Amino acid sequence: MKQTMMGMFLYFHSVLLGVLTILVLINAQEDQSGFISLDCGLPENSDYTEKSTGINYISDAKSIDTDKSVSKSISPAEMINHQQQLHFVRSFPSGVRNCYKIYVKSDTKYLIRASFYYGNYDNLNEPPQFDLHFGANVWDTVKFPNASRTIFSEIIYIPSLDYIQPCLVNTGKGTPFISAIELRTLNDDVYKTNPAESAKSVLSLFLRYDLGSITNLEYRYKDDVYDRIWLPYESRGDWRRLSTSLNNNDLYPNEYKPPAIVMSTAVTPVNVNAPLQFHWDADDVNDQYYRYLHFNEVEKLNGNETREFNSTVNNRVYPFFKESPEYRVSDTISSSKPLTGAKKYQISLFKTENSTLPPILNAIEIYKVKDFSESETQQDDVNAITNIKNFYRVAKNWQGDPCGPVKYMWEGLNCTSFNGLNPPRIISLNLSSSGLTGQIHYSISQLTMLQYLDLSNNSLNGPLPDFLNNLESLQFLNVGKNKLTGLVPSELLERAKTGSLTLCVDDNPGLCKTESCGKKNLSVPLIVSFSTLIVVLVVISLGFWIFIRQRVIFTNSKKRGSLESKHQAFSYTEILNITDNFKTIIGEGGFGKVYLGVLQNHTQVAVKILSASSMQGYKEFQSEAQLLLIVHHRNLVSLIGYCDEDEIKALIYEYMANGNLQQHLLVGNTNILKWNERLNIAIDAARGLDYLHNGCKPPIMHRDLKPSNILLDENMDAKISDFGLSRAFGSDFDSHISTRPAGTLGYADPEFQRTGNTNKKNDVYSFGIVLFVLITGRQAIVRAAGVNIHILEWVVPIIKGGDIQNVVDSKLEGEFSMDSARKVVEIAMSCISPNFTERPDISQILTELKESLSLDMVQRHGGEHGVTESTSSLFQSITAPFPSKI
């Protein structure tokens, strides 16, 4: 009995320990959510937790081609003074470029750090120099001032794909190696760049200092939740240090979350009347720098003491900068535009006349702008060539981006980015004599821009597949000297006869040109002379322009479904069942009535039955509807299916529970949208429009953007509807429009109405009007005394008079941030500029709207912390004349 009781006790004890262990692991994971920590060279399945930081590291083996690399450890003597993630290295003695592929969350802001510690791992005592690439762009050059120095390369980056590819490139100055790769997710609102540069600019860490350090220690995670590495700054004779006892629970953080241990110390001038100055030398006069100054009052001031100061950079005064740090409250001042044009920069903090105490500064970060404008290969081509590589186990050093940088383009490939069309496309594939076996893989047909394909001198078998007919751009095909069988597709033969395709199928004993052909001499003529081949290549290069006519290709192809799926094409009988014989009308617009529907899986949908008037200009309903089925974005209303049966045309959309924006802005609506709700709706709509304009190739223009086409789901998240329909239904698709190509009176761009020419800036104008409707709560056109008055006729004179207060919807009763409202008005004014070339891209508008929301959040939370120092002038931009009547 005692043994049984003891056994039960031990059993429950072990279970309890197991549960506690699991809870500890879960907590550790939660603490490091968004962390990816790779110990490069660490043997697989040797994961560990670094003792000094508590960071969990895993091997990099699954993210790299280990066959082309070597795992080494640094000398034992070097391990003593370094964290465990620096004890191993992965070196790359073979191949010019070796790349990692690390899976991440797309559209997420990351701090990405690569670490390099030589530690004499190769016993040569001679640190190498090599380049570090990021996809198709050059990241950094890694060089060591001495063998004992640890080098960090750190960038802030938002990946557009679900993976990143850091690459090490041998430049002939020693074998590349790497110690660790670390990724940390960041708040979207930190480390922003100028919107005009954001598409191609990446922030690269230039310096980060704990200025007031009294311990002379480095700090990182867990002191810093973002795992930034803070270096101590050397003492200066004209500075003195201030300190207090402070932990993370004592410090009120801002969105940058600087660590309490760093913010517990500060520097201040020895001479209380002198400025506090910090300087750095630029690498190049054309380099651009962003600065981030972190403040916290470390002294509890007496009632008669104040600390307030202004700032200059290279003696340039910033009139809107005035800092008065609060006790135990972190504040970060950042620059909204980069510094450039100087060889040396000096930041000076001067106390104001009202201040009794000199300025302080706790910590500083400087980031340099990196140009990452080199586009990566079009994703469909990447997927196709990767499938080809994996299927045939291609032995070539195919790593990183296939087409870029151009110097490191994959062997056997040629790519183009003609006429400014981005991203690059693969136009030539030469896998001759590559040891290929098996059949010709379908993925080759997905390289839709191929002009030259050479698969000769391999061991390919099976038929010459019909799917090669789909390569409409193909001008040269060589499959000679293989083991292919069956008939040569007739379409390929026809193209060869007409001279549009040079085709070689010789030395395939089982391949026939006709069913009655013999076993030999079955090839169509192959042009083999060198001079003629040169002529062919010249013709290929001159023929680039014809490929602009390629079928629309969307970058978000992962979400494509079969266009013939029964879940997308509905019969009229199915429409009747879905809508319960058109029982419930939930809306009506220019296209026709909208009915509530329920699918078989009980999903609610909105069924739009197209009216006869909307079909007057009907062109290619089915093809355009199928095209829209593959357009997916969280801020676009999803098209689920369509009906194209005789005269019955219908579109089936996801159901949006909260109707459209127009309904929420009506005068009689008692549920008044708050200012921050309006900003969130504007941001959502801008995201959707940004995807249409910049995420689809070629871009999709909406051409009828207005509040009734901005729908709201159950969470009040906004989605754009009716995009792309104007192209399918010709000119007069909206019953309340006269003869204009598309658009709604009041929202349509006057330039578009005048010329009929469509471009992105027409949508930007309409978006500007939508912003003014959101700001003012007024309709785009108000009828008064028998006259139509456009919203711009009312709002622009008030703005010119500087009275922003009276522009904002009076129903808000003053519950909004004036700075935020001013910013949104400025954005709206830029959208409706009469000179359409001066209107910003929607991506820039999106960035500025997010800044406006940040300004509102700051005021609503009762502080001024985190506001940038730069404020643009609204009234300088309002100089262009506006029509007296629209």
Indicate which residues carry an active-site annotation. 704
Q: At what angle do helices 760-776 and 842-860 cross, to 10 degrees?
A: 20
- Residue 439 CB: number of other CB atoms within 10 A? 14
- Residue 837 CB: number of other CB atoms within 10 A? 7
Q: Where are the alpha helices (DSSP H) in 422-571?
A: 490-498, 530-542
| Phi, psi angle pair for 407, to nearest 5° | -60, -25
624 to 114, 562, 605: CA distances (angstroms): 46, 15, 20
Q: Do 184 and 111 touch, CB atoms closer than 8 A?
A: yes
613 to 591, 729, 733, 742: CA distances (angstroms): 8, 10, 7, 14
Residues 6+ apart with CB under 8 A from 480: 456, 457, 504, 505, 506, 507, 508, 523, 526
- Per DSSP, the three-state class of 853 is helix
- Looking from the CA of 409 toward its CB, the CA atoms found within 13 Å total 17
389 to 3, 384, 801: CA distances (angstroms): 63, 9, 65
Residues 6+ apart with CB under 8 A from 268: 239, 240, 242, 276, 357, 358, 359, 360
Beta bridge partner(s), residue 68: none
Q: Give the residue among 324, 331, 364 at the shortest CA–CA distance from 254.
A: 331
Q: Which amino acid is at 329?
A: V
- Per DSSP, the three-state class of 203 is strand
| Phi, psi angle pair for 392, to nearest 5° | -95, 0
The token pair at 512 is 């026939």
Overall size of the chain counted in residues: 886
CA 349 to the chain's CA centroid: 36
Q: How far apart (Å, rounded) are the C-alpha atoms in residues 84 and 51?
A: 8
